[in-house]
Amino acid sequence: MTDIVAQVNDWVAGNREECIRFLQDFISIPSPSGEEGDAARFLAEKMNEFNYTTTCVDTLNDAMGTIKGTGGGRSLLLNGHIDHVPVGEMVDPYSGKIMDGDELGDHGEVIYGRAACDMKGAVAAMVLAGRAMNELGIRLKGDYMVTGVAFEEVGGAGTKSTINDSKFLADVVLIGEATNMQLALGHRGTMKFGVTVKGRACHASAPERGINALYKAMKMITKVKDELAPSTPVHPIYGKTSMTVTQITVSPEAFNVVPEECKFWIDCRNHPDFTAEDLDRHLNDIIDELKADDSEFDATVIRSPNFEEKTFSGYYTDPDENPVVGEAVEAITESYKEPNKGIWTFATDGRFYAPLGIPVIGFGPGEEEYAHTQRDHVRVQDYLDTIKVYAALACKICDVS
């Protein structure tokens, strides 16, 4: 594969400015969750221009493209999401401007803008890897498939639609979420639990007449933060369970009323040794402890409406059980450099493919710490190198005619 890697490297070098401009144009298209239409059509039009065999945009604004193989090889699907979180207080979020990385706490030349890291840099590289192979006349035996999905940031409806409705599936899946150019093999599960704390409303001018549900909730939040979260077990693959309170509301929402109810939600990233039942039990134990010390304490554990009981939503592609991992290491090493193997801190849409028995690997430019922040960016060289890596992975997994 050495000759092919050299050809792709030369192609990327010769088309450097055009590759950068492609990502800048992509970043310039606002695509918050639920408003991905323009970005999806941009991708489909580009894949069509780059001679993908088939392209389409579905009703959810998932863009899909395929370069049909000659036959006899495994298919490879590269998945990346095109929606992004709100821009917040980012300055010029859709500029896609070239900057000195030092200004953002990084190094080298970077492309800045909302979704540069999470994750339009990877999606652009996926599409361009297909273009490079087409223009170089590299024919794969298996199909090369790219999907830029919608709604990933708000639950994953886009990927689920491509799987269930479009049947857009392959023998191997690569998720392009940020890995800082390393190889990701999975991630922890995600659970959302809530607690409703009851009190008694009264006029805020005489708080002693009521029971402040917010104050009661603070007692439990403190125990979750200081006692439960630090005590969770560590898994040899997935690491430590994490949990944090992310949302809190009171009722009634009135400036001059002591709240009669307070509800808070806990985001928990778990592993197989810390299940939903474990978290449920621990939270109820805390409630029992607080009730024993405070006769006025009244709380109930609740689960999110879409919570799937007893389901572990994480996954891991074990190198000892799946040869795809070794193949990926070989391809990345030959086209870039030998990668470290690990897992993502956050969840990805890989969780929808792994239960189907499809091996899922991850590789993408950008660092996790910049995702969802005002410093959202991707290093230019990493982005260009990712194009090379994706082409090399395609040649390794799909095989070359």
For the stretch 348-384, pLDDT in tens is: 999 999 999 999 999 999 999 999 999 999 999 999 9
Q: Which residue has the tokens 């899946």?
A: 173
Average pLDDT on 241-252 reads 97
CATH 3.40.630.10 domain locations along the chain: 2-187+314-398
Rounded to whole angstroms, the Cα distance separating 292 from 299 reads 13
Residue for token pair 């799937």: 308
Each residue's pLDDT tens digit, 274-331:
999 999 999 999 999 999 999 999 999 997 665 554 468 899 999 999 999 999 999 9
Amino acid at 346: F
At residue 241 the predicted structure's pLDDT band, cuts being 50, 70 and 90, is very high
Q: What is the mean pLDDT of residues 380-397?
A: 98
Q: What is the CATH number of domain 190-303?
A: 3.30.70.360
Burial of 241 (0-12, 13-18, 19+ CB in 10 A): buried
pLDDT in the model for residue 387: 98
Predicted confidence at residue 219, as pLDDT, reads: 98
Residue 242 has a CB neighbour count (10 Å cut-off) of 13
CATH of 2-187+314-398, one of 3.90.480.20, 3.40.630.10, 3.40.50.2300, 3.40.50.150: 3.40.630.10
Exposure string (b/e) for 1-29, b if CB count within 10 Å is 16 or more?
A: eeebbebbbebbeebeeebbebbbebbeb
Tell me the residue type at 193.
F
pLDDT at 1: 74
Report the mean per-residue pLDDT for the chain: 96
pLDDT tens per residue, range 87-132: 999 999 999 999 999 999 999 999 999 999 999 999 999 999 999 9
Tokens representing 151 are 């709604």
Q: What was the pLDDT predicted at 309?
A: 47
3-class SS of residue 277: helix
Convert the pLDDT of each residue in 30-76 to its tens digit: 999 999 999 999 999 999 999 999 999 999 999 999 999 999 999 99
Region 205-224 average pLDDT: 98
Taking Cα atoms as reference points, which of 338, 336, 344 lies closest to residue 371?
Answer: 344
- Delimiting residues of CATH 3.30.70.360 domain(s) in the chain: 190-303
